[in-house]
Amino acid sequence: MKKQLAAFLIALMPTLSMAAGGANVHLDSMEPDLYNYESLQKGARLFVNYCMGCHTAEHQRFARTAEDLGIPQDVIEENLILSPQLAYNDLMINGMTAEDGESWFGTAPPDLSLMARLRSPEYIYTFLRSFYLDDAKAWGVNNTVFADVGMPHVLSDLQGEYELVCDPNHLEVRVEDPLRGKVTNPRDCFRQVETGSLSPAEYDQAIYDLTNFMVYVAEPSKYQSNSLAPKVLLFIFVFFIFAYLLKKEYWRDVKH
Ligand code: HEC
């Protein structure tokens, strides 16, 4: 038993160390808001349009997304289910096999169902805003949060393209930027060289929505329990009043 546990922990180590890996990487803060339906709906749309070609959310059904986020079934069917092989009650999967993924990208695109918990909302939010041009890479891009990432910058038509004016390994270090003097905030290390269809602020908002959706997908039951909590409390409160009145009623005729 002990041996099995040890083997399990050892098998887990690369994941754990990878997760801890970015310890010195600056992550921008992001506060998920699972009550913001509009944000979650926009995030869901971005997710199916830009991510599901390669990634899956294999623990989640389209129908569940629809019900939780208040999206009508026909809207889901027309806009969010892009593959003719998939239907409303299906899991959010795609047709790419792990072997295909590996041969195309070097690493198979991981399932994203639990990614927001495996990493963190801040990680995803920063990762998707940290691609920069790098000719040495197969896809022409690299990422300051995930060095040598095998994923192309699939959102470049929205964000545009950025180059890095700092040393990617020392973003936190002050460097001289010929144009703007000293740089201290890692975000200042990115310089836009091509605009996208969204402004930088709009892009940040889009990534916020997308990350928000991924936080929801990672724990849909938390979402439900959140929305249940006030109702449960109300129930307990009302129940307490009745229980109290009932107690009084029972004890009224008992002489002390
Ligand atoms: C063209 C295929 C492709 C598309 C489209 C794509 N990805 Fe990826 N993604 C990959 C690959 C390949 C990896 C694995 C990279 C690696 O391990 O080097 C990956 C990895 C990731 C990771 C894991 C990073 C980590 O630290 O392990 C996240 C998060 C991610 N993608 C999010 C997204 C999101 C969100 C979208 C949609 C906006 C998206 N991806 C679209 C191919 C893709």
Domains of the chain: 20-218 (1.10.760.10)
Burial of 109-134, coded b for 16+ CB within 10 Å and e otherwise, reads: beebbbbbeebbbbbbbbbbbbbbbb
pLDDT at 172: 66
Segment 227-240 mean pLDDT: 86
pLDDT at 17: 40
Any atom of ligand 1 within 6 Å of the Cβ of 124: yes
Q: Which of 53-67, 141-155, 162-176, 190-204 shows the lowest mean pLDDT across its residues?
A: 162-176
C-alpha 110 – ligand 1 centre gap (Å): 7
pTM, two decimals, is 0.81
pLDDT at 1: 55
* Torsion from C-alpha of 232, 236, 238, 243, nearest 10 degrees: 160
C-alpha 150 – ligand 1 centre gap (Å): 8
* Nearest atom in ligand 1 to 53's CA: 5
Any atom of ligand 1 within 6 Å of the Cβ of 203: no
Q: What percentage of the chain carries pLDDT values higher than 70?
A: 85
Quick check: helix, strand or coil at residue 122? helix
Lookup: tokens for 115 = 């990614």
Q: Which of 68-77, 107-116, 166-175 shows the lowest mean pLDDT across its residues?
A: 166-175
Q: Report the candidate in 200, 211, 221 with the shortest Cα–Cα distance to residue 50.
A: 211
**pLDDT of 188-227, one tens digit each?**
889 999 999 999 999 999 999 999 999 999 987 776 666 7
Q: What percentage of the chain carries pLDDT values higher than 90?
A: 64
pLDDT at 29: 93
Stronger pLDDT, 225 or 117, i.e. the higher one = 117
C-alpha 37 – ligand 1 centre gap (Å): 24
pLDDT at 96 over 70: yes
* Nearest atom in ligand 1 to 108's CA: 12
Task: Using pLDDT thresholds of 50, 70 and 90, give the confidence band for residue 131.
Answer: very high
